[in-house]
Amino acid sequence: MPIHGHRRFANRTALGFAVGLLIVAPVLSACSGGSSNHQSAPASTEATTTVAPTSTINRATLPQTDEKPTASSAEFQERMTALGRAIIADDHTIALSSFFPVEAYKQVKKNTDPAADWKNRLIAEFKTDTHDAHTQLGAGAANATYVGVDVPDAAVWVKPGEEYNLIGYWRVYGTKLRFDVGGTTKVIPVSSLISWRGQWYVVHLGAIR
């Protein structure tokens, strides 16, 4: 082959190689850059919060104690406020927390089905008594304001067997709920409170049947 032919072939080869480098270099650079970015990216972290497990024990399921209740406890005052609201609204369900708990009643009474007695007799009476108390407040009952409660200092310990009861409890008669009805004070009596684990509960709002 003539010498000048070799030179033209060499020139073409060199030019093709240079062009190839121009095409490949950006691709390699991009690949290299992507790899570098991936490796240097910080790992994402998420804050975690550990919540301690909670449990609520129904105190009515626990054994009775001989602790004497006090009318000044915050829990009792809350229950009586609920009872006052129930009477004003003529809705006994508002004050079910103020009534002697069924689980406690099942431990106290001797009858064959205390839970049924609690629901069918005591709660039925409580509903009637709440309505009667609402009526006693008069025409302005719906707009009345509950003022407070007075519990006589005359509680007695009822021994097992005295009132068809398997275990003892504190009992007090003559508690009074005070209401303001249009500027007039009206009093609603609570026939009987009995205790469970140092707290007073209503067992008879109206007359004891």
Residue 19: burial class (beta carbons within 10 Å; 0-12, 13-18, 19+): exposed
Q: Tell me, yes or no, whether 166 and 76 share the same domain.
A: yes
Residues pairing with 170 in the sheet: 157
Mean pLDDT of 192-199: 98
The pLDDT assigned to 116 comes to 96
Helices and strands of the chain, counted as H and E runs: 5, 5
- Please indicate, yes or no, if residue 178 is contained in any of the structural domains: yes
Q: Tell me, yes or no, whether 119 and 163 share the same domain.
A: yes
- Please indicate, yes or no, if residue 166 is contained in any of the structural domains: yes
What is the average pLDDT value for the chain, to the nearest integer? Answer: 83
CB atoms within 10 A of CB 113: 11
Q: Tell me, yes or no, whether 87 and 26 share the same domain.
A: no
φ, ψ of residue 42 in degrees (nearest 5): -70, 145
Q: Which residues of 191-200 are buried (b: 16+ CB within 10 A; e: fewer)?
A: bbbbbbbbbb
- Please indicate, yes or no, if residue 43 is contained in any of the structural domains: no
Q: Tell me, yes or no, whether 95 and 150 share the same domain.
A: yes
Please check the confidence at residue 22 and state whether its pLDDT lies above 70.
no
Q: Tell me, yes or no, whether 20 and 98 share the same domain.
A: no
**Model confidence pLDDT, tens digit, residues 150-186:** 999 999 999 999 999 999 999 999 999 999 999 999 9
- Please indicate, yes or no, if residue 115 is contained in any of the structural domains: yes
Q: Tell me, yes or no, whether 159 and 111 share the same domain.
A: yes
The pLDDT assigned to 112 comes to 84
Judged by phi (left if over 0) then psi (alpha if -120 to 50, else beta), residue 63 lies in beta
Please check the confidence at residue 31 and state whether its pLDDT lies above 70.
no
- Please indicate, yes or no, if residue 59 is contained in any of the structural domains: no
Full domain range(s) for residue 187? 67-204
Q: Are 117 and 109 in contact (CB under 8 A)?
A: yes
The pLDDT assigned to 18 comes to 41
- Please indicate, yes or no, if residue 194 is contained in any of the structural domains: yes
- Please indicate, yes or no, if residue 75 is contained in any of the structural domains: yes
Total domains present in the chain: 2
Q: Tell me, yes or no, whether 89 and 189 share the same domain.
A: yes
Q: Tell me, yes or no, whether 113 and 159 share the same domain.
A: yes
Q: Are 76 and 195 in contact (CB under 8 A)?
A: no
Q: What is the DSSP letter of 99?
A: B
Q: Which two tokens stand for residue 120?
A: 């069918």
CB atoms within 10 A of CB 176: 13
Q: Of residues 145 and 43, which shows the higher confidence score?
A: 145
Q: Tell me, yes or no, whether 77 and 174 share the same domain.
A: yes
φ, ψ of residue 59 in degrees (nearest 5): -65, -20
Q: Tell me, yes or no, whether 22 and 79 share the same domain.
A: no
Q: Tell me, yes or no, whether 19 and 81 share the same domain.
A: no
Residues pairing with 173 in the sheet: 192
Mean pLDDT of 78-105: 98
**Model confidence pLDDT, tens digit, residues 34-51:** 444 444 444 544 455 555
Q: Tell me, yes or no, whether 15 and 109 share the same domain.
A: no
- Please indicate, yes or no, if residue 3 is contained in any of the structural domains: yes
